[in-house]
Amino acid sequence: MALSRYNEIRNFKQSPEPEGKLSKKNLFRFVIQRHEARRLHYDFRLELEGVLKSWAVPKGPSLNPSDKRLAMMVEDHPVTYIGFEGEIAEGNYGAGMVTIWDKGTFFPVNEKHEKITEQQALENLKNGQLKFDMQGEKVNGEFVLIKLKGDQKANSWLLIKHRDQYAVDGYDSENYLSATKATKEPTLSKKLKSSKTILRNNSRPKKFDKFHKPMLATLVDEPFDDKDWVFEIKWDGFRAVAEWQKGKVKLYSRNGLSFMERYPTIVDAIKKLKQDCVIDGEIVLMDEENKPSFQKLQQYEDNTHLPLIYYVFDIFFSKGKI
């Protein structure tokens, strides 16, 4: 869809919304806005092709893979809409209060969970199925948008969460905090030889109240070379922060979700540090060909025979020094 439709149905003298203009570059951002219009819904927007591809999701996105949330594709919105909050006055299209519920970045992926190009993502969208990995404050992990067959207007889709470490079995967008913090016993898989247990993908890891957020990568238009920069390998794994503070160990995702039960061998290795520190790295699982396998890492409970490695590439804090 072009932004002409977006501009056509709005009166910018009365509406606080930004006027529609195409963006020259794509930063793969997303925003989810809670929209108290005639009926409450959530506006789900992905930055692609210089605009925000947009869907209205009546019940909001769900972290429960069993939920198949209806998502009605609407007109493209300008990228500047990412930061929009405010009240659209009565008599205007979409009248009601708009607030940002979540925002962050995403990247499109294929069936093998591998990152793909924007052009490939647009082709997949055209064909009626787009898979992507999201990194936000509330919404994380892989999702898929699937166009419903037989829809002549091609605007009825389903938004579905994939089963991964961020999935939960009970979820309500209107009660996010209680949905993600509700207490329940974790489901545990088979015991390892070391008598340790591993948290399965369909159980919910706890979130630490206090945690360090690592610096995230910034997208640029093209590769560059600079003598003042050190370039590192992009490992295909889970970003993880490890803490050894006053004899207590923590291991968690960039959003504070615990990895303690899921990767006990790494926790045991961190315990051996025995000095106050906070380190940043990537948890990687090597396949039979000694190559990183994100897919096998997602199913780690079935691949504990493979080498699990924590690659450290930054030290936030060590022995009282930052």
Confidence of residue 213 (pLDDT cuts 50, 70, 90): confident
CA distance 141 to 278: 24
Q: Given its phi and psi angles, is residue 38 left (phi above 0), alpha (psi -120 to 50 degrees) or beta?
A: alpha
CA distance 255 to 145: 24
Q: How far, in Å, are 67, 141, 168, 190, 238 from residue 187 at the CA level? A: 20, 20, 12, 10, 21
Nearest C-alpha neighbor of 29 from the set 102, 103, 80 = 103
- Residue 252 · residue 223 · CB < 8 Å: no
Q: Rounded mean pLDDT of 86-100?
A: 92
Q: What pLDDT does 179 receive?
A: 53
Q: What pLDDT does 11 receive?
A: 94
Q: What are phi and psi of 31, to 5 degrees?
A: -145, 145
Q: What pLDDT does 175 receive?
A: 64
Q: Mark 258-296 as b/e (b = at least 16 C-beta within 10 Å).
A: bbbbbbbebbebbeeeeeebbbbbbbbbbeeeeebbbee
pLDDT at 289 > cutoff 70: yes
Task: Give ∠ CA 69-75-76 in degrees, rounded to 5.
Answer: 100
Q: What pLDDT does 194 receive?
A: 35
Q: What is the mean pLDDT of the chain?
A: 85
**112 flagged as catalytic:** no
Q: What percent of the chain has pLDDT over 90?
A: 55
Q: Mark 40-56 as b/e (b = at least 16 C-beta within 10 Å).
A: ebbbbbbbbbebbbbbb
CA distance 146 to 159: 7
**Which residue in this structure is represented by tokens 């819904």?**
41
Nearest C-alpha neighbor of 157 from the set 122, 130, 120 = 130
pLDDT at 305 > cutoff 60: yes
pLDDT at 199 > cutoff 70: no
Sign of the alpha-carbon torsion through 78, 84, 90, 96: positive
Q: What pLDDT does 94 receive?
A: 94
CA distance 59 to 67: 10
Q: Given its phi and psi angles, is residue 193 left (phi above 0), alpha (psi -120 to 50 degrees) or beta?
A: alpha
Looking at 21, 126, 213, 234, which residue is catalytic?
234
pLDDT tens for each residue of 148-165: 987 666 699 999 999 888
Q: What pLDDT does 142 receive?
A: 96
Q: What are phi and psi of 155, to 5 degrees?
A: -115, 0
Q: What pLDDT does 34 receive?
A: 93
pLDDT tens for each residue of 219-238: 666 778 888 887 777 788 88
Q: What pLDDT does 233 receive?
A: 78
Q: What percent of the chain has pLDDT over 70?
A: 85
Q: Rounded mean pLDDT of 199-210?
A: 65
pLDDT at 27 > cutoff 90: yes
pLDDT tens for each residue of 28-67: 999 999 999 988 999 999 999 999 999 999 999 999 999 9
Residue with the bigger pLDDT between 216 and 5: it is 5
- Residue 306 · residue 295 · CB < 8 Å: no
pLDDT tens for each residue of 103-151: 999 999 999 989 999 999 999 999 999 999 999 988 999 999 999 987 6
Sheet holding 277-285, edge to edge: 248-252, 238-245, 277-285, 308-318
Q: Rounded mean pLDDT of 255-259?
A: 86
Q: What pLDDT does 180 receive?
A: 54
Q: What pLDDT does 138 receive?
A: 87
Structural domains in the chain?
A: 3-177 (no CATH), 183-318 (3.30.470.30)
- Residue 171 · residue 190 · CB < 8 Å: no
In the beta sheet, which residues pair with residue 257?
207
Which of helix, strand or coil describes residue 59?
A: coil
Q: What pLDDT does 153 receive?
A: 65
Helix extents (H) in the chain: 3-8, 118-126, 176-181, 264-271, 294-298
pLDDT tens for each residue of 43-53: 999 999 999 99
